[in-house]
Structure 1
Amino acid sequence: MQRQFSQLDSVWPAALARRLGAMLYDGFLVAGIWFVVTVVHVAFARFVLGLEAQQVGQGPLQVASLRLLLVLSAMAFFIYSWTRGGMTLGMQAWRLRVQTPDGFSISVMQSLIRCLTAWVSLAALGLGYWWVLFDGERRSWPDIVSGTRTVVLPKRNK
């Protein structure tokens, strides 16, 4: 169920530098997730499948399964974060939130579309994120394709 966010009148579109900062923070989190996934994958191959140490990571099936698990775990992290509260931990640090244009939390489908478009944006040498510099509403390709907005939240009063 989508929920409506507060502070809708005091948010503004996120600039490229702030987005890149949040992406850097989230990159460290994803690296940690990937470390855990890789350890579990290796342990499964070694102790459940009974492979010798030299055989772990050998063969196309092991490589493909690990790559698939890495992609799926990163996507699960982002989809869960965006649908739960509109932000990842890196986005919280940079006061960013992903929302619909009318201020609601985004759906699982919008999150999935954002993830898939983000991979394309990064594969195109980041062009999908550089697009923020040229778009009048400061939207990236993931924003445009998924029908979402990335906004900056105001500072909290102490």
Structure 2
Amino acid sequence: MGAVIYDALLLLAVWFFATALILPFNSGQAFSSEQYFFPIYLVAVSYAFYGWFWTHGGQTLGLRAWKIKLVALDGGAVGWKEVSLRFAAAILSWGCVGLGFFWCVFDKSRCCWHDRLSNTRLVLVQTEKSGRQN
């Protein structure tokens, strides 16, 4: 959950920047609840954010800080198909009051709903310690 919080803070900053980019197209005014484009735009920005990190090394900054990596079930890199399934399933997991995330407590393989639905998993990254002495 630490990585989720870390990434949420970073995503919030990305949302601020993404909003600043399109605000001039709305006459500099705040977006209203009748403007359905804006939330869809933020979901698309979120998808691009996670998708880019997951397909380029399997780690967002939050996952990197906690030494966790997203991989396919065979241990290889994930592609955009897995990213799309994982992102959609994660929205479903959050939409069920976080039940999809809490599921990993009971799952034999410690997988959340979005892990299962996208055939991906999170693994700990092994760090190599240098054998050099100073």
Rounded Cα–Cα distance in structure 2 between residues aligned with 1:97 and 1:31: 21
Give the TM-score, by structure 2 length: 0.90
Q: 2:13 aligned with 1:41, yes or no? A: no
1:83 and 2:61 are equivalent in the alignment: no
Q: Is the 8 A contact 1:41 1:66 kept in 2?
A: no
Shift of 1:57: 2.4
Gaps of 5+ in 2: none
Deviation at residue 59 of structure 1 after TM alignment:
6.6
RMSD: 1.4
Match of 1:150 among 119, 122, 126: 122
Query: What is the deviation of 1:58?
Result: 4.0
CA separation in 1, counterparts of 2:95 and 2:33? Answer: 26
Paired with 2:6 and 2:111, the residues of 1 have a C-alpha distance of 20
% identical aligned pairs: 31
TM-score relative to the length of structure 1: 0.77
Equivalent residue number for residue 133 of structure 1 = 105
In 1: Cα distance, 2:80 partner to 2:31 partner: 33
Secondary structure, aligned partner of 1:149: strand
> 4+ residue runs of structure 1 moved beyond 6 angstroms?
none
| Higher normalized helix content (fraction of residues) | 1
